[in-house]
Amino acid sequence: MDNKQVYLQGQYLPLSEAKVSVLDRGFLFGDGVYEVIPAYQGQLFQFAAHIERLNNSLKSIRLDVAYDLAQWQAILEPLLIEGDAQYIYLQITRGVAEKRDHAFPAQIEPTIFAMCSPIPLVEKLEGVSAITLDDMRWQLCNIKATTLLANVLLRQQAVEQNCAEAILIKDGYAIEGAASNLFIVLDNILITPPKNADILAGITREVIIQLAQDNNMACVEQPITETALLQASEIWLTSSTKEILPVIQLNNKVVGTGEIGTVWHRMNTLFQHTKRVVS
């Protein structure tokens, strides 16, 4: 095991020594939230946006952790390791209760855990395959909850069909990936589903929308029907660890020309530049 330093409950310690109680509600119920924050050349990327989303998730599950941006930065920065692209995994669970009970006690100390890992970015240069699957998740997909069993099963199904990701379909609409947001290019317009409780408000998604606006690329936030998905000339999946992943095969059929599209090349160039200048 990689015995790197991790953060747990106010302490930095080797991964092998980081232990939590079996009564932790994260372990028993998946009662917690998390963030995945990329860092490039030692600089946390879109840090304020990640912490804002974390605070929204915490509020949604009624968990009170009152660290400000500077306090989170002081906790997380010492974890950054050598290397160009890394990500911080930050998890906050409701903590350890005296007994197992679905309802939570009023007084309980949250468990805070964080670690840093390298981001491997290779597959996107060749494009990936994806499949569509029915979205069987819950009604609060805007919360970045650690309770990810549906996402786990969906992604596993994709992997077992030699696909990188599952694109989730809900009531005839393409929503997002099992662990990523969705963009398509249709008639030269970039389209991504609007923010609501069906999707996670991805930080990468937000950066892409901003880059499109700043560079006069037509981009709209509107629902994507399954039919539009199948007609798209380009399909991308975006996340903090995958950046902008071009999908060149969907359900065993080529997407567009079967090559990575021109709009992707343009956006990826802009994104790579932004990574280097903004943090």
> Which residues here bind ligand PDD, judged by CB under 6 A?
36, 176, 179-181, 200, 202-205, 238-241
Query: Nearer Cβ to ligand PDD, position 94 or 205?
Result: 205
Q: What are phi and psi of 16, to 5 degrees?
A: -65, -20
Min dist CB 99 to ligand PDD, Å, is 30
In the sheet that holds 11-14, the strands lie side by side as 11-14, 5-8, 111-118, 85-93, 32-40, 43-44
Min dist CB 36 to ligand PDD, Å, is 4
- In terms of Cβ atoms closer than 10 Å to its own Cβ (0-12, 13-18, 19+), residue 194 is exposed
Q: Is 227 left (phi over 0), alpha (psi -120 to 50) or beta?
A: alpha
Min dist CB 73 to ligand PDD, Å, is 18
Query: Nearer Cβ to ligand PDD, position 111 or 204?
Result: 204
Min dist CB 237 to ligand PDD, Å, is 9
d(Cα 265, Cα 268) in Å, to the nearest integer?
5
Amino acid type, 174: A
Amino acid type, 236: W
d(Cα 253, Cα 245) in Å, to the nearest integer?
17
Interstrand relation of 219-221 and 85-93 (parallel, antiparallel or unpaired): unpaired
* Catalytically annotated residue among 124, 144, 242, 275: 144
Query: Nearer Cβ to ligand PDD, position 204 or 274?
Result: 204
Query: Nearer Cβ to ligand PDD, position 54 or 97?
Result: 54
Min dist CB 241 to ligand PDD, Å, is 5
The closest alpha carbon to 35, from 79, 1, 5, belongs to 79
Is position 144 annotated as part of the catalytic site? yes
Query: Nearer Cβ to ligand PDD, position 239 or 268?
Result: 239
d(Cα 21, Cα 100) in Å, to the nearest integer?
12
Residues assigned a catalytic role: 144
